[in-house]
Amino acid sequence: MNWRRHGNWLWAGLLIALLVQVIGLGGDALVVAKRPNMVYAQMTELADPIELRSQGQTLALEGRCAEAIPLFTQALELYQAASNDPTTSPLQRDSNQISEAMIFTHLSSCHLRMGNYEALIVSLSAGLETRRQLADQAYLTAEAQAGLGPLADWLDTWRNRLASDTERITALDQSRDFFNQLMRVLAELGDPEGALVAAEKGRARAIADLLTAGLGDLPSERVTIAQAPTLAEIRRIAQGQSATLVEYAVVASEASEENELYSWVVKPTGDIELAIVPLAEAGKSLQATIERSRVALGERLRGGFELAEPQAPVQEAQLRELYQLLIVPIQAWLPEGEDDLIVFIPQDELFLVPFPALLDGGNQPLIRHHTLSTAPSIQVLGLTEQRRSQLGNRGPITGNEVLLVGNPTMPEGLSLRPLPGAGDEVDEIAPLYGNAEPLKGTAATETTVKQRLPAARLIHLATHGLLEAIGDSGIPGAIALAPDDQNDGLLTSAEIFPLSLQAELVVLSACDTGLGTLTGDGVVGLARSFFQAGVASVIVSLWAVPDAPTAKLMAEFYRQLPHGQGQAQALRQAMLTTLQSYPNPEDWAAFSLVGAAK
């Protein structure tokens, strides 16, 4: 928005409204009846922080932030110097700190107006920490505490100015520490619901913007952004899907340099629970445990297609350890029914966790007891469900609405081995959809696949997946197809991104298709591009999947779908069937359903 064009009155109104909401004019909402007669001490005649703050506020309301910021900064330094003076009374220190909180609000307003994003985050963080300290002294009213969460909305105002998806992802990554701080402060103040809303505001916001644009048939590169998540929306999504939502966040602890694992459970009733696990006390490094589990499961070595040899004892130990960290603290709040859906909302390396394979105390995998899916955020889950509803009930999928690709002739120069099992896989799926004709070998060209993608309701790609960014887009991920005289045989994330697809489900039956660049916006890769293109649900893999077990699992998945089950239930049944013949989790647990689950 062009603030200057709309005049200083608009900015003045916004600033006053924010002050009332966050701290209260004159600090009245900030101070409780504990010390109602607090007054400022007399300062030196040479530099009066009260006068400096007042002059700065006047300049800010007039839109003269470049002049106001030095005055606010000087006043802040004077208050802090006075508080550090050992002769200053505790009452005066408290009074100074209330003034500092107000100054940080003014500074945030000015930095927002001037486009100083990094300085905005610094001032918001400092103001939040000041308010936390005041809360420890019982100086924050309930109304003022409720105003802590909306501090994050200032960052949405900034994001509203960013036109590109890349800029929004970068902005979200830059604000990561602030959101972690906000979650921690709200949790400490006994507000787990507010902390969950803060967690939602700090993740997957750029993809939410894109999905919102797609639902409204708007250009993806636009100024309007998705509305900030709310507590009412979070509850509505859980209730509307009759699902239990489990959202994770790794938050830095104030008491130590180690992190804490926050695990929220949103029940289908809308009730919200929070478990906090101090990782230092548990003696655990979550990232290291996840890395060890992936190595034990035979993670593909980077730069090649050879698999590490799975190690069963090590593998089981890592999967039990992850179960203890991620499931046991919230187990009492999970549903009892096997068909009751649990949607995991991971963060960072938690996107790499094979939740179906986590082992309980009886050495049973989680998938035996629960139906599972994942999503980048609760808000994105809701948007994918809206997309599924928008696609409507179009009746049974027919053969000419299915795009099956298996074992294409591989592009040259990449040393990609043939996948005969992938060809068998699509051959077994095809009869389930009548006259569906799979594309295999030289027929599975990138050009043909691109032509058929827009009309397909079901897309199944059984081939190699690449993690690398191809070309200049910087977006990782590609699907290997047969080259032709028009295309090189690599269908990249960047090429998928602008498509307009009508598919209810895309299955990426290839290696590592659930991986990509881990950001505050989730995993940036193939799945994200398909969501942007209009797909409601995507099944992806977390490692290099073996040929024969994958063909068995996928065939069973499609056999289950017509039986009135949701996609998550069908995937669960396919995993349970496959592990009877292939009990090693490497063979059956790689796949995850992301997005709409029904």
Q: What is the pLDDT of residues 352-373, one digit of tens each?
A: 899 999 999 999 999 999 999 9
The token duo for 519 is 């950001």
| Least confidently predicted of 27-31, 89-93, 273-277, 546-550 | 27-31
The two three-digit tokens of residue 21, written as one number:
């909401």
Q: Say what the pLDDT of residue 543 is.
A: 80
Looking at per-residue confidence, does 440 or 207 come out higher? 440
Residue 502 has pLDDT above 60, yes or no: yes
Which two tokens mark 551? 């063909």
| pLDDT of 513 over the 80 cut | no
The answer to whether residue 302 scores a pLDDT higher than 60 is no
Which residues, 6+ apart, have CB-to-CB distance to 501 below 8 Å?
453, 454, 456, 459, 530, 533, 534, 535
What are phi and psi for residue 510, nearest 5 degrees? -145, 175
Residue type, 91: L
Confidence at residue 276, expressed as pLDDT on a 0 to 100 scale: 94
pLDDT tops 70 at residue 534 = yes
pLDDT of residue 542: 85
The residue among 542, 536, 532 whose CA lies nearest residue 204 is 532
Among residues of the chain, what percentage have pLDDT more than 70? 81
Q: What is the mean pLDDT of residues 493-502?
A: 91
Tens digit of each residue's pLDDT (9 = 90 or more) over 374-386: 999 999 999 999 9
Per-residue pLDDT, 22? 41
pLDDT value at position 298?
Answer: 61
Residue 499 has pLDDT above 90, yes or no: yes
Give tens-digit pLDDT for 165-221.
Answer: 888 888 888 888 899 999 999 998 899 999 999 999 999 888 888 888 888 765 544
- Do residues 481 and 434 lie in contact, with contact meaning Cβ atoms separated by under 8 Å? no
